A and B are shown apart, each in its own frame.
Chain A
Amino acid sequence: MQEPDQPAVVVKNLSKTFKIPIDKSNGIKQSIVRFAKRKKGYRNFNVLEDISFEINKGEFFGIVGRNGSGKSTLLKLLAGIYTPDKGLVQVNGTLTPFIELGVGFNPELTAQENVYLNGALLGFSRDEVTKIYDEIVNFAELEDFMSEKLKNFSSGMQVRLAFSIAIRAQSDILLMDEVLAVGDADFQKKCFNVFRRLKKEGRTIVLVTHDMGNVEKFCDRVLVVDKGAILAVTTPSNAAAAYARLNIDDSKPTELNGLEEQPGRWGSGGIRIKSIAIKSAKKTVSPVFNFEDELQLTIELEKQKEFEHTPFDVGLAFINQDNVTVAGPNSSNEQLSADTNTITYTLSNSPLQPGDYSVTVVVIDRETNEPFDFYDRATSFHVISDKPAQGVVAVSGLWSAK
């Protein structure tokens, strides 16, 4: 049982090192050879170094970080799957991890049998599963398929079933890794409702994710991990900003050199986009914008000799995380100089709502309208705001009362 005054999870000076084998195969022969040569067969890789934080009871706690930052390792340490090398993980209360939905699912068994098996892994006896069986099936909307073998299920159906079982877990603390990345929009909505309910019930939830939208929607506090260390434990909007900054820091501005074909990029190639840099008015290079900041996009071009003086136009498309093109400005009325190699687009009083945006950049021949370089989702940025509102665009109307 959970002690009332203690934090749900305490992590103190936690370190974890993996041994990465140098030899490709792990066999006895290699071990003997290595032993004879007194060589280590592995190198050490510090995944997490000296991490300390606490998660309060009833908190919706987010963990974000880029791929390879150590966030999944951290989650597995919290779940007790990995053993810490140094430091400690202290969990007050029962804990159920969802590193992946449907753990133990066997494709050769029927859906019904799998419910019992997965239930057992979550700590349910057969009788207990029988009691909640109908609820699980109803929630997953799979009433007609339960006697089918699981291998005949679509991946969406499997996930629905798995999630329906998972949310029955009676633990005080739930650990979830990217579970929201699956399922259609309708099912996601259901999941969100469950999250809200769990939160209301005072359960502690730890969510590991890439999706800043969800972080801002649900989390009370967020831990940002980078290169095995804690960058910040902060509010969701600050975390989203920090996360987005992380994503750009390594590659500023976005270099698009080389002729390698990217998916989503095509065109005749006479003029090519060389680089794209995004700036806000306040910071030099940052993909994170406060709602009211000015946003500046600088595109550098590379021209083949015969196209050096060819008139061209540039078109942009801002695409939000729901794949809606929010705005599509272009330069066709601007009479851009044909000789230039650098184009800048400035957006002030941005109508963009908080969230992630991708930018598609197109360079076309002004005469023929043939694309020189069509680059789908060439770059991205993130908008944050202190004043969240509904909808696709932010409008700046005035409220008044008589």
Chain B
Amino acid sequence: MKLSNIFSRRNRILLRELVVTDFKLRYQGSVLGYLWSLLKPLFLFAIMYIVFGNFLRVGDAVEHFSVYLLLGVVFWSFFTEATSQGLASIVNHGELIRKINFPKYIIVVSGSLSALINLGLNLIIIMVFILINGVKIHFSALLFPLYTIELYIFALSLAFLLSASYVKFRDVSHIWEVLLQGAFYATPILYPITLVIKQAGHTAAQILMMNPVAQIIQDARYALVTHQTVRLEDLTSNIFIQAIPFAIVLSFAIFSGLYFKKHSSYFSENV
């Protein structure tokens, strides 16, 4: 996998076609078509906005809690979608891989790009809610895209690792499903991290925040929604502990890339 090949003309054409096809197929046969990719999150947000804003008032201590919540949910759904789609992508395209030679990473990247498009659409809706709620936009909002990129890199790395191992071990999809379920509750998405500090202590909160997705969600909330968000750097002044989530992302990126590269030459035989 030479770097120059990654963006070669042929590969760009193919990547684009795969993403477009995926998007077309998703809303095949529905009357509203692409509109659903906006309507679905809109309805989901409306429901959560009502439920958490009026009935389950877990986050009253945090200002703009509903928007705070939405951002977490949107980031988490992207993470779930990108990794789950990525996981199955190589096996699902087995027909193609057995018939024609092309760089396999294109398939994984195309799956993650579809999820990224959805994330973009969701973020547009979040902006609407931010305006409705009268959230004050800070300069820190400029950091927001960086956290999105970090999340994308992390999800893509996992997708590479999962897709390559799924070719060999079909258990991986079930394991990943269970892990995601567990991780959803281990990540401060529905509850504020202050709740963990109160109930389980400072160390427990620190450990939860080592999870890169938790770090990303909290940092993104801090950047975009409210400075009341508790981040890892608010829990510890140790710079090495603060660096752990980034180190995890980086090491996954390197390891997954190498693992995928090593196994991709044999996908056509094993898939």
Residues of A within 8 A of B (CB): 18, 25-29, 31, 76, 79-83, 97, 99-100, 103-104, 106, 108-109, 113, 116-117, 120-121, 123-126
Contacts and interface: CB of A to CB of B under 8 A. Distances in A.
B268 to A, nearest CB: 5
A106 B99 contact: no
Contacts of A82: 268-269
A109 B99 contact: no
B170 interface: yes
29 contacts: A18-B269, A26-B170, A27-B169, A27-B171, A28-B172, A29-B171, A31-B169, A81-B97, A81-B98, A81-B99, A82-B269, A83-B265, A83-B266, A97-B100, A99-B99, A103-B100, A104-B100, A106-B25, A108-B28, A109-B24, A113-B21, A116-B17, A120-B16, A120-B17, A121-B17, A121-B102, A123-B10, A125-B9, A125-B13
Nearest to B96: A104
Query: Could you say which of B28, B96, B100, B265 has the most chain A C-beta atoms within 10 Å of its C-beta?
Result: B100
Contact of A27 (B24, B95, B101, B170): B170
Interface in B224-240: none
Contacts of B28: 108
Nearest to B29: A108
Contacts of A120: 13-14, 16-17
B21 A106 contact: yes
B169 A28 contact: yes
A24 B9 CA distance: 41
A382 B9 CA distance: 49
Contacts of A27: 169-171
B168 interface: yes
Contacts of B9: 125
The prevalent SS among residues of B at the interface is: helix
A80 B24 contact: no
B24 A113 contact: yes
B126 to A, nearest CB: 31
**A-B interface, 9 closest residue pairs, ranked by CB to CB distance from nearest:** A120-B17, A80-B101, A83-B265, A103-B99, A99-B99, A28-B171, A81-B268, A81-B101, A123-B10
B100 A79 contact: yes
Interface string B17-44: 1000100110010000000000000000
Given A121-B100, A125-B13, A109 B269 contact: no
Contacts of A125: 9, 13
Given A26-B168, A82-B268, A120-B13, 7 more contacts: A27-B169, A28-B171, A109-B24, A109-B25, A113-B21, A120-B14, A123-B10
B100 A99 contact: yes
Contacts of A83: 265-266
Nearest to A80: B101
A118 to B, nearest CB: 9
Interface string B155-198: 00000000000001111100000000000000000000000000
Contacts of A113: 21, 24
Nearest to B10: A123
Nearest to A16: B269
Contacts of B17: 116-117, 120-121
A121 B101 CA distance: 9
B175 to A, nearest CB: 8
B266 to A, nearest CB: 7
Interface string B74-103: 000000000000000000000111111110
Contact of B25 (A79, A108, A124): A108
A26 B169 contact: yes
A124 B269 contact: no
Contact of B101 (A28, A97, A116): A97
Contacts of A18: 269
A79 B13 contact: no
Contacts of B25: 106, 108-109
Contacts of A103: 95-96, 99-100
Given A27-B169, A27-B171, A121-B102, A76 B268 contact: yes
A117 B10 contact: no
B163 to A, nearest CB: 15
B13 A81 contact: no
Contacts of B13: 120, 123-126
Contacts of B98: 81, 99
Contacts of B268: 76, 81-82
Contacts of B171: 27-29
Nearest to A84: B265
Nearest to A19: B269
A103 B99 CA distance: 7
Contacts of B101: 79-81, 97
